[in-house]
Amino acid sequence: INIGTPLNDSSYVDQESRAGHIIGFGQNTISLLQTGIVYDTRDLETDPSRGIFAEITNELSSQILGSQYNFNKIFVHLNGYYSILPKKFKKIVLCGSFGMGKTSGDAPFFEYPDEWSSEGDIDGMGGSKTLRGYKQARFAASVMQYTNFELRARFLQMKVLKQHLVFSAVPFFDEGGVWDDLSRVNHLENLRYSEGLGLRIVWNANTVLRFDYAISKEDHQFFFQLGHTF
């Protein structure tokens, strides 16, 4: 349950709300019923080299649940990992991620960027999890889709003070877009792209330090976070 006032009454959002273009400005009460199905064959959750992760999640907001709004959000998510010539190379893993979400009903404007995943929320189109090189939640609409590709190439491993460290170079490519309706997803002019290079340091197989530098038509961004992008 989330109760709060997202923005002040002098914002552009307030103007759009007064014009009737959006709903959700001011104090809101949201109650969500979250359900999902997950299929996971990854060999190692923190640093996989083979397998897939697939899920379908749903968020239902209803006045029956005590919510102020009636809307539904469904999210389809698929990650895949494939080791390239494992007998010849130490560890080169081709990784891909696909996500698509649809919001229907009378959803407040601040619900459009967010998609619920068992792996952690997807906070809008743009940012470290979807479209690196664009600002966090740069794009939002009732339909969102993104795809990420990474090539994780190990080039060094060592022990420092009895700690095992593995270093990998990670070139990556991201694409994503948002639309007002599913019937418009073939409008490719809505797609945005970015690319970049990253460094991963895997510490004792359980902790991943992620450094990414991404370039897009709008911005250059540097990220430092814990855990792989996906």
Per-residue pLDDT tens, the chain, 230 aa: give them. 444 444 455 566 566 656 666 788 878 899 999 999 999 999 999 999 999 999 999 999 999 999 999 999 999 999 999 999 988 877 999 999 999 999 999 999 999 999 999 998 998 899 999 999 999 999 999 999 999 999 999 999 999 999 999 999 999 999 999 999 999 999 999 999 999 999 999 999 999 999 999 999 999 999 999 999 99
User: Do the domain assignments include residue 1?
Assistant: no
Number of folded domains that form the chain: 1
Residue 78 lies in a domain: yes
Q: What pLDDT score does 20 carry?
A: 61
Residue 155 near residue 168 (C-beta atoms within 8 A): yes
Per-residue tokens: 138: 């740069």
Let me know if residue 26 belongs to a domain.
no
Q: Give the C-alpha distances (Å, rounded to integers) separating 81 from 45, 85, 105.
A: 11, 13, 35
Whether 2 is in a domain gets the answer no
Rounded distance, CA 168 to CA 69, Å?
46
Q: Give the pLDDT of residue 11.
A: 63
Cα–Cα dist 168/93, whole Å? 10
The pairing of strands 71-83 and 51-61 is antiparallel
For residue 157, give its domain range.
31-226
CATH number at residue 158: 2.40.160.50
* Residue 47 resides in a domain: yes
The answer as to whether 162 is a domain residue is: yes
Domain membership of residue 62 (yes or no) is: yes
**What pLDDT score does 27 carry?**
84
Establish if 192 belongs to a structural domain.
yes
Q: What is the pTM of this model?
A: 0.86
Burial call 216-230: b when 16+ CB within 10 Å, e when fewer:
beeeebebeeeebbb
